[in-house]
Structure 1
């Protein structure tokens, strides 16, 4: 395809999407590729920022509120016979984040086996469990920032791993929230507190603008 044709198609696309946000993600319409190119934001960098913000600014904030609200003695209580405890699920997510750190830094040879069944029990308090998660997420965030700053190259395999991490974390976070609400007998109002997709989109745009 010639450059002139590419430019014309880019122009036509922008005309169609003139009312869309530069990074229209929250509405589910996807990335406006031509506008990313115009602002010299590579899709890889956008993806790194998007995933990083999802994990740090949305998932972590929700998990933090749950753990700070939940009595510690309910963390290690089975919801039903042989079910995974809330604390065990949090530790499972921590382990996945740790494994993702190894993959992102090309240390796959250090990966252990049995991750699928890793839902340990413990006597940690809510504060101690949150500290473990924060520490692991901090390590992951530092690695992700190296990708955002182009110190490391985000390859296709990394993208598969990262999207799986976000999907997997979101799935288990939903489990944790649902079980915590059952224990507390009330619902968390995350949306009303601003922990929603609109907030996430503003964080993504702000982060890209700040580091552009």
Structure 2
């Protein structure tokens, strides 16, 4: 397998097996009120951050379909407060990650775009986890629960052999 394909598969696995489960675990733990609550000094809710990630993934999916696509404006300030029900909200998260997985499966997208997607998502997942920990007094132990580099490498082992 060539190096770019390896990079895409590692990125895909990180999105699906590291970031996605962390987002879902946090959202499932929160009440609808907590998902959409804006706490000072923050400008947006946990739900708004998740919506920001979802929009960023959707835009990247569009680019995977058409590398020439250009968006008129950025999403730096897009932290939608649609206040979806928890069930619909989780469904929308599931849906975008399923589509992303399918698009990346055979992607030959550029390294820069994929790296930015992974990095941007990771940054915001950290915010979500941190805020959820604070709100719920919950200490997550993702590493011992299998969300770690060793397991990620093991999941990818067959792909690379």
* Counterpart position of 1:204: 156
2:89 paired residue among 129, 133, 139 = 129
Deviation readout 1:104-144 (Å, 9 max, x if unpaired): 22254363424111001122233321211111111111111
Q: Calculate the TM-score normalised by the size of structure 1.
A: 0.71
Deviation readout 1:65-107 (Å, 9 max, x if unpaired): 1111111210111121452100000000001101111112225
Distance 1:170 1:82 in 2: 19
User: Gaps spanning 5+ residues in structure 1: where?
Assistant: 1-40, 148-152
Does 1 or 2 have the higher relative contact order (CA < 8 Å, sep 6+)?
2
Distance 1:85 1:108 in 2: 33
2:103 counterpart of 1:143: yes
1:164 paired residue among 109, 113, 116 = 116
Deviation readout 1:144-184 (Å, 9 max, x if unpaired): 1122xxxxx44xxx210100110000000000000001110
Q: Calculate the TM-score normalised by the size of structure 2.
A: 0.92
- Rg (Cα) greater in structure: 1
Distance 1:130 1:208, change over 3 A: farther
How many aligned positions are there?
161
Distance 1:145 1:179 in 2: 32
Aligned counterparts, 1:64-79, within 5 A: 64-79=24-39
Distance 1:144 1:118 in 2: 24
2:51 counterpart of 1:91: yes
